[in-house]
Structure 1
C-alpha cells in the first residue's frame, strides 16, 4: 500500500495545474503609413506605404514598382490571397488621388518649408467581431495638420496653418472618399488578414515536451491523465494484495503438539511436569 501511495503521489505531481482559459485580446488594428512627396529625385519614390497588423509589419508598397512586398510571417501568408490583389489595386487608386490632393495644398507661412510632403496614418480597428474605429492623421512637412474621424465624419484642425487645407478638402467632398477607404476597404482587409493572423500566432508544439506550469491542458486530456492514474493505482494495489496472499500461503502452520513441545523446551517449569 505504501508503494501505491508513493506511485500515485509521483504521477499526480506530474500533472499541470488546471487553469481557467483566458480570452485573448480581441482588439485588432490595421495601420497604413503613407508618405507622399510633391517632388522626388531618381531612386526615391514619391509615394510609399508601410502596413502593419497589430504593429507587426505586413507589406510595403512604393510608386516605382507599384507592387506590394510581403513582410513578416503574416505577409508571407496573405500575399496570394484575394485581399492582397484588391489592396494592391486600391493603393494604386489612392496614389492617383493623393497626387491630385498634393497639387491643391496651399499652406500658410507657419507650415511652409519648401515643397510640401504629406505623411498620412490610416488606421482601422475591430473589437469583438465588429468594426470599432477608423481615422486618418495628416502631417504636413513633419507637423500635425488634420485629424479625420471616419466614424463620426468630423475634422479636427491640429495646426492653424492647415485651416485652408481642411476647407479645400471639405469643398471637394473628400470626407466621403476617406470614409469609404477607411470604413469600407481598410476594415475589409483587416477582417481578411485576421483569418490568417490567428494561424500565424499559434506556436509550434515541440514533440515529447512536458507542458510548463503556466500552460493549461484541455479538460479531455486532464480527464484521461486522471483516469490513467486511477487505473495504475488499482493495478498496483491488486499486485500488492496478490503478493501478500502468496507469502501468507507459503508460511506453514505448526500443529498444536509442536507448539506445546517448543513451549516446554523453553520453560524450565514445564519440563518438570
Structure 2
C-alpha cells in the first residue's frame, strides 16, 4: 500500500503555488506527524488546499475531515464521513512509516517530525503535474519520481522505506497521474467561482521621518486576491530598489497583503510613486507620495482603493 500523505516544511518547496495562474489549479495535501506531541496537540494533522485556499483539515485527535472557509457551506462536494475514514486509514500507514524510521536510527523515545507534501495540478489545456516528497526532522527524506516510476531515497533510512513501498509504485503513479487529477476536477465543479475570484488591492502610501534623517516611504497593498502582485517604488518614473519588504502574506478572509519600503534623502523633491500591478486591476495603479506632507516625525500619507 502506498504511504500516507503528510505536511511540509519550506524545504519541501512552496506549500502551495505562489500564484494561481489563469486556468491553473492545484490540489495539495500537507501533513505533519509528531512522535511526541505536546499536551493538547494531535500527533498527526494536515490541511488540504485548493490552489492557495485551505479546503479541509484533518487531525488524529478528532479523527474527522472537516471542510474549511467557504467550502463549509457547499453541499454535495464531498462525502466527509468517507473522507474521514480514508484519512484514518492513511494515518495508520503514516504511523508505521514514522516508527520504521525511528527504529532504523535506534531512537524510539526521541522527539521527531515526519512531513509530506503531495498533490497534483491541472491546466485548461489538459496538461497536469504532480508532486510527492517527504522530510524527516527537517531534512529531505524521500520523493517519488513519476517520470521513471520509482521512489528516490534522500536519507539513509529511506532505503528501507523505498524497499517497503516499491511493490506499490504503480499505485503511487496511478494516484498522481489519474486519481488525484480526477478528484481535483470533481472539486473544481464546485469551486471555480471561489478560486477564480478577483479582489483588487487597496493601496496606502505613508512616510516617516525625523529632522536631519532620511524619510522612509512605505507602500502597503492589502485585501487582494489572487496572491500574485507586482509592487515597487518609482522616482520620476524610474524603478527604485526597495529598502525591504515585498513578501506577500495572508491578511485574513482569504486575501493577501504586502508592502515595500524606500529610503529617500531629506528635502528630496523628486516625484516618488508606488506602482502596483495585479490581475484584478484593469491597468497598473500608480499612487504618488507627496513630499510636502512629510514635515516632521510621525506617519503621513494617503490611501487609494480600487
The TM-score bracket by the shorter chain reads 0.5 to 0.7
Does 1 or 2 have the higher relative contact order (CA < 8 Å, sep 6+)?
1
- What is the RMSD computed on CA atoms of the aligned residues? 3.3
Distance 1:42 1:62 in 2: 14
Q: What secondary structure is seen at the aligned counterpart in 1 of 2:180?
A: helix
**Does residue 34 of the first structure (1) align with residue 31 of the second (2)?**
yes
TM-score under structure 2 length normalisation: 0.50
TM-score (norm 1): 0.55
Indicate which of 83, 88, 91 corresponds to 2:84. Answer: 88
**CA, structure 1 residues 94+159, in 2 after alignment: closer, same or farther (shift >3 Å)?**
same
Against the structure 1 CA distance between its residues 63 and 108, is the aligned structure 2 distance closer, same or farther, given a 3 Å change threshold?
Answer: closer
Query: Any unmatched runs of 5+ in structure 2?
Result: 1-20, 200-279, 284-306
Give the whole-Å Cα distance in 2 for the aligned partners of 1:65 and 1:137. 26
SS state of the match for residue 62, structure 2?
A: coil
Aligned length: 182
2:169 is aligned to 175
Quick one: which of 166, 183, 207 aligns to 1:189? 183
1:95 CA displacement = 1.3
Q: Which moved more, 1:115-124 or 1:145-154?
A: 145-154
Larger Rg: 1
> Which structure: greater helix fraction?
1
Say whether the 8 Å CA contact 1:77–1:196 is kept in structure 2: no
Partner of 2:240: none
Unaligned runs of 5+ in 1: 1-23, 205-211, 216-273
2:135 and 2:104 map into 1 onto residues whose CA distance is 14
- Which residue of the partner structure matches residue 55 of structure 1? 52
Q: C-alpha offsets along residues 58-104 of structure 1, whole Å, 9 cap, x if unaligned?
A: 1111011111232222x234464235454333222211222222232
